[in-house]
């Protein structure tokens, strides 16, 4: 007997097809839809790093604030490996580029065209691998801490990484406080069949799908058991240290991939890009979406990005009504409105928009499920 495709699957495939068609339409109208493209791409990047943070904070119960540090590792590694050779001297104009980096980049530039098309993706994976190795070493010490102490330790780690990248001793590698620029944008995929605009959504989709599969596996169940009660989880034979380390390394890996994509999106990076503020923004997205909900992190990333970068922009512009200039409408006022809206959302949805639940077509289409008791 043929297996019948369920309605939720049909709805999901239909929604995915509509979204892809919308992205292709945006690609054909780049000149007039620049703001929409910018918001969606940044939202996709933040969705990935928020999901990776939720894996650690929401599903494993480890309060870590080191995402910005691992993002910076991915961003700098990716940027160094993809800046065109002809632009290196212009980027490292103060102290010059390290001879080893220049030699490596010259060798990469002489590779066949097919190899050069995959170098940006290799750079993303290399940056993520380095971040994962750093997390593996750091986790040996910090994961023995709990709660606020772990948060302080990982936050300190993030600041240490940022300080190292901006130090004069690393001028020939990271360009110190001057940062890196002339970073190429997202590359197209599959020999140009998929335009560069869609690339970050595919990378984010694949990474988030992997995290979802991990959460639904036996490892994910072990993560949740540790979150609920460490003593009970250990009594059931779950190795606390092993699974905490695994969650920490995987979260750092995907945070670094998001950092590499952020470098491609911004086209230029500097150490202050990955300050404590970025970590707080990511934590805000996780809390608004729901700690312990992958869907919540993804939806919240797009909503928060759209609100900050697009919908509330008019509050930064002077406004006059009938010859009277409305007070407070000036640069920076949109962040005041944004903060007020966040307070309202948190007061109404104390567990976030999704809580610990995931999006379900069944809930959305069922009147009985939505009916209030």
| Tens of pLDDT, residues 310-328 | 888 777 777 666 666 767 7
pLDDT of residue 345: 82
**Range scoring the smallest mean pLDDT among 38-42, 227-231, 336-340:** 336-340
Residue 11 scores a pLDDT above 90 = no
**304-308, long-range: CB within 8 Å, 24+ apart, which pairs?**
304/46, 305/39, 305/42, 305/43, 305/46, 306/39, 306/43, 307/338, 307/341, 308/334, 308/335, 308/338
119-148 burial: b if 16+ Cβ within 10 Å, else e: bbbebbbbbbebbbebbeebbeebbeeeee
DSSP letter at 149 equals H
pLDDT of residue 373: 40
pLDDT of residue 372: 44
Instruction: Write out pLDDT tens, residues 248-269.
Output: 999 999 999 999 999 999 999 9
Domain boundaries, the chain: 38-274
Torsion of CA 310, 314, 315, 317, to 10 degrees: 130
Torsion of CA 325, 330, 334, 339, to 10 degrees: -90
Residue 2 scores a pLDDT above 60 = no
| C-beta of residue 157 within 8 angstroms of C-beta of residue 69 | yes
Its pTM stands at 0.92
Q: Which helix (H) or strand (E) holds 133?
A: helix 113-142
pLDDT of residue 3: 63
Instruction: Write out pLDDT tens, residues 157-166.
Output: 999 999 999 9
């Amino acid at each position: 007997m043929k297996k019948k495709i369920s309605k939720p699957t049909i709805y999901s495939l239909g929604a995915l097809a509509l979204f892809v068609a919308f992205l292709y339409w945006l690609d054909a109208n780049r000149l007039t839809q620049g703001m929409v493209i910018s918001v969606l791409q940044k939202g996709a990047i933040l969705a990935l790093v928020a999901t990776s943070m939720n894996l650690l904070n929401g599903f494993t119960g480890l309060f870590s604030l080191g995402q910005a540090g691992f993002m910076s590792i991915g961003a700098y590694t990716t940027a160094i490996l993809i800046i065109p050779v002809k632009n290196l001297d212009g980027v490292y104009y103060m102290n010059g580029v390290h001879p080893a980096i220049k030699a490596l980049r010259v060798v990469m530039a002489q590779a066949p065209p097919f190899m050069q098309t995959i170098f940006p993706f290799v750079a993303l994976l290399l940056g993520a691998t380095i971040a994962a190795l750093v997390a593996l070493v750091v986790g040996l010490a910090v994961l023995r801490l709990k709660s606020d102490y772990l948060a302080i330790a990982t936050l300190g780690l993030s600041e240490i990484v940022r300080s190292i990248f901006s130090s004069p001793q690393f001028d020939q590698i990271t360009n110190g406080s001057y940062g890196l620029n002339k970073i190429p944008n997202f590359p197209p995929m599959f020999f140009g069949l998929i335009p560069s605009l869609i690339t970050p959504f595919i990378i984010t989709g694949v990474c988030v799908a992997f995290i979802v599969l991990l959460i639904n596996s036996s490892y994910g169940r072990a993560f949740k058991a540790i979150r609920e009660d460490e003593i009970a989880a250990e009594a059931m034979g779950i190795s606390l240290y092993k699974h905490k380390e695994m969650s920490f390394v995987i979260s750092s890996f995907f945070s670094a991939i998001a950092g590499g994509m952020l470098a491609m999106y911004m086209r230029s990076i500097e150490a202050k890009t990955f300050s404590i503020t970025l970590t707080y923004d990511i934590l805000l997205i996780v809390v608004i979406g729901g700690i312990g909900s992958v869907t919540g992190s993804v939806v919240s990333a797009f909503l928060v990005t759209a609100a900050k970068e697009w919908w509330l922009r008019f509050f930064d512009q002077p406004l006059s009504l009938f010859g009277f200039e409305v007070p407070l409408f000036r640069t920076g006022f949109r962040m005041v409105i944004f903060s007020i809206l966040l307070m309202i959302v948190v007061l109404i949805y104390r567990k976030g928009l999704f809580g610990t639940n995931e999006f379900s077509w069944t809930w959305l289409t069922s009147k009985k499920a939505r009916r209030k008791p």
